[in-house]
Structure 1
């Protein structure tokens, strides 16, 4: 499928991943719905042309696989993390904190936009925002959409603004 440019994948089975995702690893735009252990499967596939990716968490502990996934997306310019479908909070393990010390190639060469949808102020969400801000050299825009029922939005926004950024050109934008 060399002409395929965009794909939306909502798979709950490893068999489906192997059968359909590997052949479309050359897409430019990808939307992945992450379920349970399937996030780890996505991290083993090289997406050599991917420039835009939307990761939708569906009750998945996906953060341990995130660094590996990003390492396989060397041309990624736009990353969206969407928490709207998450019913239970994900947890970042100790392994995530250790992996967070490595830098995917896209952080050094191409990632310009990061968007986090339905931010609820959980520790793992703040860790993710910090990981992106602290390590993405080419970052231009970070947009954080606050969950509608989130309390203390002003305090949370100030806390996020205080995170050190490696890219001096980056703008931190908030929507409510």
Structure 2
């Protein structure tokens, strides 16, 4: 212990920051006089009221006292894990303390397994914490305010199963985040928002999640206006949902579109500048407008679980002239036997297959008739293919051996390609 105590304060503070909770950090003060004042300068504090089964009253007093005594000029991370009945007055005091300590990263998580009501956050959270750069809220309730909302420094906002006062409040809150770069939203069924509107000119990364049971029988959706967006990741299993993109997003580099919409074209037609694209959609019909060209697309990942995946694949290959890498996989678990897609060899070979496609990776390959036709088509015409990697989840050794023989025969038509099978 003596040798550790001789380390400089900066290094000791980093070591203390690695401890699981604030209670563990405070406990180090008993080690020696050298350690007594150090805990008050640690820039990362995690308060967990489920830790060691503490009574909430004891936990609340501990948080109050330790925050009052804390002397760090800036707290980089202040993290609350709340699993029991939590008084609104306590949270109000802690958020006021966060503002005084110039907290840069604030996390408030309410234990989703708890039967208690979600935590109601005070108005001071979005009117006083002007130094916040990162805010993460989980299973909490936001209340409306008449005073202006202000997050002038906020760059990352993560909202998981949060309840809002209204749709208008969501728009007003986001419009007052002038430097926001990342927004992650996971909606819950009763969050009081039917149409989630995101109009943030500075936004670069947008991640949206909505479950199938969001609001059965109604039209729920997203409206997006984010002209600076570089990454879009949307997962919406609700077949009655929609996504409207109000303006083009010319800076999109990466997109993951996993939706059950009947007409996803409004999304895909707005991201034609994408370079890395992952798709899982239920229908290839009207997937995107005829004539759209993915002129920058170099990597394509398509889910092979949906019945329409083959038609979607051929459409995108036709409209992606410089595609270099293709990945085919079942990105979801299969609930049961699925209808097999139909394969009809196209009358012309997509330009990318003959001139730019270099790698093909296929996971969960089953060796069905249409799968063999697809891979045979690509191997026959893939003039630039360098590597094809196939893997199967089959436990039938004879079946796998047959797959290997068939693939080895097909690969002879592409002598420059290296084929591997797992």
Structure-2-length-normalised TM-score: 0.37
Aligned to 1:132: 378
Structure 1 residues 65-108: Cα deviation after superposition (integer angstroms, max 9, x where no partner): 43332110001000011135355142224xx13x1x42100012
Cα distance change on mapping 1:34 and 1:7 into 2, 3 Å: same
Cα distance change on mapping 1:174 and 1:133 into 2, 3 Å: same
Distance in 1, Cα, partners of 2:419 & 2:289: 27
Of 37-46 and 164-173, more deviation after overlay is shown by: 37-46
Higher helix share: 1
Aligned to 2:349: 103
Structure ID, larger Rg: 2
Distance in 2, Cα, partners of 1:43 & 1:136: 27
Cα distance change on mapping 1:156 and 1:18 into 2, 3 Å: closer
Dislocated runs of 4+, deviation >6 Å: none
Corresponding position: 1:91 with 2:338? no
Query: What is the CA-CA distance between 1:40 and the residue it aligns to?
Result: 5.3
Cα distance change on mapping 1:58 and 1:39 into 2, 3 Å: farther
Aligned to 1:60: 307
Distance in 2, Cα, partners of 1:34 & 1:119: 19
Cα distance change on mapping 1:33 and 1:64 into 2, 3 Å: closer
Distance in 2, Cα, partners of 1:39 & 1:167: 32
Secondary structure of 2:294's match? coil
Cα distance change on mapping 1:61 and 1:21 into 2, 3 Å: closer
Aligned to 1:73: 320
Contact persistence 1:57–1:83 (CA under 8 A): yes
Aligned to 1:149: 395
Cα distance change on mapping 1:83 and 1:89 into 2, 3 Å: farther
Distance in 2, Cα, partners of 1:138 & 1:91: 27
Cα distance change on mapping 1:49 and 1:166 into 2, 3 Å: farther
Corresponding position: 1:3 with 2:248? no
Structure 1 residues 111-139: Cα deviation after superposition (integer angstroms, max 9, x where no partner): 00011110112111111110110111000
Corresponding position: 1:47 with 2:294? yes
Secondary structure of 2:364's match? strand
Secondary structure of 2:410's match? coil
Cα distance change on mapping 1:14 and 1:91 into 2, 3 Å: closer
Cα distance change on mapping 1:68 and 1:131 into 2, 3 Å: same
Cα distance change on mapping 1:126 and 1:43 into 2, 3 Å: farther
Structure 1 residues 37-79: Cα deviation after superposition (integer angstroms, max 9, x where no partner): 2365158432110000000123323323433321100010000
Structure-1-length-normalised TM-score: 0.85
> Which residue among 112, 119, 122 is the counterpart of 2:358?
112
Of 43-52 and 58-67, more deviation after overlay is shown by: 58-67
Unaligned residue ranges in structure 2 (runs of 5+): 1-248
Distance in 2, Cα, partners of 1:42 & 1:82: 21
Aligned residue pair count = 169
Unaligned residue ranges in structure 1 (runs of 5+): none
Does 1 or 2 have the higher relative contact order (CA < 8 Å, sep 6+)?
1
